[in-house]
Structure 1
Amino acid sequence: MKIRRILATAVAAAVTTPALLLSVTPAFADDKPAAQTQEKPSIAELEKAAAAAKAAYDDAVAAESAAYAALRAFDSDTHPLTAAAKAAETAAALADTAKTEADQAVVDAQAAVDALPETATEEEKSAAATTLTEAESAAATAAGAKAAADAEVVEADDARDDARVAAARAIGEAQKATKAALADKTAADEALAQAKEEEAEEGEDDEACVPETELTTVVTGLPSTVVAGTKVSFNLRVTNGTDRTMDEVLPFAYVHATDRSGLNDIDDLVHLQWSSTSSSTWETVDNEHYMDAISPLKAGAHTDVKMRLTIDASAPAGNGVTFVAGDYFNDNGTCGGTPDLEGYEFLIAAAGTEPGKVDDAKPSTTEPNTSALKPLSGASASPVSGSLAATGSSSATSQLALASGAALAIGAGAVFVVRRRKAGSHA
């Protein structure tokens, strides 16, 4: 397990928790940072939470299954609403037959009246007329009965269809509930697994990782303005400035971006890749923000890692920051890393913008050449580190309006608490 894994978690937390700005302590501090003073839940508590989440998920799965069964039940003739609809249809069919017969009786009665000979008696004429009147009355009654039966069919069908639609919607809600319960269960399981892993590591670790200021990570060639819809290449140099070989060095890189307000995260629109100097293949920086290990990195030596930043054309004008750091591990169990994250800020120009000549984002106080671009302020493309932010004075805080970028570096540095671990436990 890499020693900076907790750092990546802190990065995400810092973006959404600017309060970390108020609780900064230097990285590798002896005391636990204020941001970490809240007592962690115990294994027993996490096991209880995981069990509750599983029970809730099982209930959600059962409810979803019941919702599907309720919808399928409409296909059965024994379902009350289906049976009512079929009964209404049967009654309507009988009413239709009765009306047809009544109408035919009227036709027959009228034909009998029309067929009376001139010699027919008044009594015969009266009887034929009475028969016609009675037939017409029966036909009217049959027509009314048929209309009522047809209305009952419509009402029964509507009731069944409405109930079927409601049942289908209930399935959709049940699916959402199951998905949410699964997410909760997964999170609870992961929290429990991580806690157990950390407990095991803490029990096994016999040596503390240490800060190493002579392990440096420096970015060159990253423009201080990047246009959306373009790719820019730059270089990350990892240098072992100590007098001893580091058996394995893991470069770390993370890019974060917001719109101009600094409040809306657009990380999904920025992409960071890397490649070794000897390869033309580009690899995406993994979800723990690490690249492949440099093994070994000799005393006084350095290695260059080619980097490429891509910003989607749909990205709005805004601000970004690329953080870099490094960790090392030795075969004898010693380990450590750069004490702070180095942050290189850049402006994001809207797609199609012509920014003109721009300087590189360097660890200096030089402001970037923004030409016609108008960022929130005139902050420079300069490095951000935990120690700088801890003093409350950073020349970069205005450019990102940093409830995001600076908090990122500060939070990450503040929470970089190094644990004891055995050699090889970082894999």
Structure 2
Amino acid sequence: MKIRRILATAVVAAVTTPVVLLSVTPALADATSSAASQTQAQAQSQDERDKPSIEELEEAAEKAQKAYDDAVAAEKTARAVLEVALADDAPLRVAAKAAEKEADDAATAKANADKALVDAKAALAALPETATDAEKAAAEQAVADAETAALSAADAKATADEKAATAYRVSDDARVAAVREYSKVQEAMKAALKVKKVADKALADARDEGPDCVFESKLRTVVTGLPSKIVAGSTTDFSLRVTNGTGKALDKVSPRVYFHATDKSGYHVIDDAFHLQWSTTASPTWKNVGEGSRTGSVGPLKDGAHGNVKLRLKVDAKAPAGVGLAFVSGDYINDDASCGGNLSTEYEFELLAAGSVPEKVDETKPGKTTSETPDNKAQGVTSTTPVNSGSDAAGTGSLASTGSPSALPGFAGAAGAALALGAVAVYVGRRRRAGSAS
């Protein structure tokens, strides 16, 4: 059960990393970049020394449960604060309504003053020719007084209107801020739940008996032809090569590919906008990527041999511009039930809005190795366009048409969710720093 122990090590490291890593916000990207790298290094180097015990996994699961419980309590408190902020009897809202009442009263006073001025002018104009000088003086004074009162009422109305507008603006800003804070708390609760599920699964897996699987750093899974900039609404064909450098023959290898992205803000995950299909020589019809992000299987492979899988990525046209990572890895199972796999490699890319025409697009290059993909859900669509991939070179092994059996340990499952959740946020931070420096 060596692979399960590798996953368990990653989960322990992830759970003991500050939960702030999982909030996936641009503001936290700088602070979490070094933490993410350290956590990944711990997850890999720890395997060389020792593996976490059941007790350590139980402790990690307990911490994850407490973090989730705290997040639920925080969400409840934030919801109460939000309800108060949005209530009609909130202090700022009451003040705004009072200011509005003052503005209405000032408007009425101005209207009355304007009418009094009109009446005074009409009375002056209606004086007969026989009016005495005193009567004329009195009428003229009445007009002057009415004009003064009208100007004063106009100034009072303008002041009241500005006061009401300011009061409502302050009230609205407070409401918007409360909604934003509540949204952040909700996202933190979702992230904590994800970590809890990962920790629980790692503990359950460690308690179960399984095949004696091993970590194979010399099992290579490399993507070629994936552009560094992908336009929403487009279809991109690229390929994946599996190379067996383990020093032994492998009966069946299952490559895995998963696309994880957010919009430019880093707040909103848009993984569902990516639809991935695979095709091989043995199975040329395009098929949707299935459970566990598996893209078919390759095998048997002699030591030093390789096999290829063609991939087709479709991105929804409605997907917003953003940034993302493609996670690529592979695991294997032999006829004698021995099994193993490698950790995933990141391929960074920029997602452009539909209709964009980038001037220069390079092929994305492999980045650092992580502990796999964010989750196990499939990314697939239906396609009616078959592609024939051609024959492999001699000695590279045939491409099997079926996916991996359920006995495979599944590197993409347990450890990946805990460690990859912050990956795109860190990438957003890196890109923003690069942009500000240019």
TM range (shorter): 0.5 to 0.7
In 1: Cα distance, 2:314 partner to 2:34 partner: 21
Please name the residue that 2:120 is paired with: 102
Work out whether 1:154 is the aligned partner of 2:152. no
Distance 1:163 1:351, change over 3 A: closer
In 2: Cα distance, 1:340 partner to 1:57 partner: 35
CA apart distance, 1:274: 3.4
CA apart distance, 1:64: 3.1
Deviation readout 1:304-354 (Å, 9 max, x if unpaired): 42246899xxxxxxxx99954323387x9x553245778999xxxx96679
Secondary structure at 1:29 match in 2:
helix
Q: Answer with 299-308 or 160-169: which moved more.
A: 299-308
In 2: Cα distance, 1:354 partner to 1:81 partner: 57
In 2: Cα distance, 1:75 partner to 1:344 partner: 49
Residue among 35, 51, 65 paired with 2:69: 51
Residue among 64, 68, 72 paired with 2:86: 68
Deviation readout 1:78-114 (Å, 9 max, x if unpaired): 9312221222122222222222222222223x43xx2
Deviation readout 1:361-387 (Å, 9 max, x if unpaired): 9xxxxxxxxxxxxxxxxxxxxxxxxxx
Give the TM-score normalised by the residue count of structure 2. 0.54
Please name the residue that 1:375 is paired with: none
Please name the residue that 2:339 is paired with: 336
Q: Which residues in structure 2 correspond to 1:306-345 (within 5 Å)?
A: 306-307=310-311, 324-328=329-333, 334=337, 336-338=339-341
Distance 1:6 1:252, change over 3 A: farther
How many residues align structurally?
322
Give the TM-score normalised by the residue count of structure 1. 0.55
Secondary structure at 1:144 match in 2:
helix
In 1: Cα distance, 2:164 partner to 2:326 partner: 58
Is the contact made by 2:8 and 2:203 (CA closer than 8 Å) also made in structure 1?
no
Distance 1:156 1:342, change over 3 A: closer
One-letter amino acid of the counterpart of residue 149, structure 1 = A
One-letter amino acid of the counterpart of residue 67, structure 1 = A
Percent of aligned pairs with the same amino acid: 22
Secondary structure at 2:50 match in 1:
coil
Secondary structure at 1:279 match in 2:
coil
Please name the residue that 2:199 is paired with: 195
Is the contact made by 1:28 and 1:210 (CA closer than 8 Å) also made in structure 2?
no
Deviation readout 1:163-186 (Å, 9 max, x if unpaired): 112222222212211111111111
Residue among 99, 111, 118 paired with 1:81: 99
Q: Which residues in structure 2 correspond to 1:344-359 (within 5 Å)?
A: none
Q: Answer with 97-106 or 274-283: which moved more.
A: 274-283
One-letter amino acid of the counterpart of residue 132, structure 1 = K
Distance 1:329 1:94, change over 3 A: farther
Q: Which residues in structure 2 correspond to 1:159-238 (within 5 Å)?
A: 159-205=163-209, 208-211=212-215, 216-217=219-220, 222=224, 233-234=238-239, 236-237=241-242
CA apart distance, 1:196: 1.9
Please name the residue that 1:291 is paired with: 294
In 2: Cα distance, 1:181 partner to 1:227 partner: 32
Work out whether 1:29 is the aligned partner of 2:29. no
Structure 1 residue runs of 5 or longer lacking an equivalent are 117-127, 257-266, 312-319, 356-360, 362-398, 414-421
Q: Answer with 277-286 or 165-174: which moved more.
A: 277-286
Distance 1:72 1:153, change over 3 A: farther
In 1: Cα distance, 2:314 partner to 2:73 partner: 43
Distance 1:190 1:84, change over 3 A: same
In 1: Cα distance, 2:118 partner to 2:227 partner: 85
In 2: Cα distance, 1:21 partner to 1:182 partner: 26
CA apart distance, 1:134: 1.1
Larger radius of gyration: 1
Is the contact made by 1:275 and 1:283 (CA closer than 8 Å) also made in structure 2?
no
- Give the number of the structure whose residues are more often helix, by fraction: 2
Distance 1:343 1:336, change over 3 A: farther
In 2: Cα distance, 1:25 partner to 1:276 partner: 32
Secondary structure at 1:337 match in 2:
strand
CA apart distance, 1:129: 0.7
Is the contact made by 2:75 and 2:182 (CA closer than 8 Å) also made in structure 1?
yes
In 2: Cα distance, 1:50 partner to 1:39 partner: 16
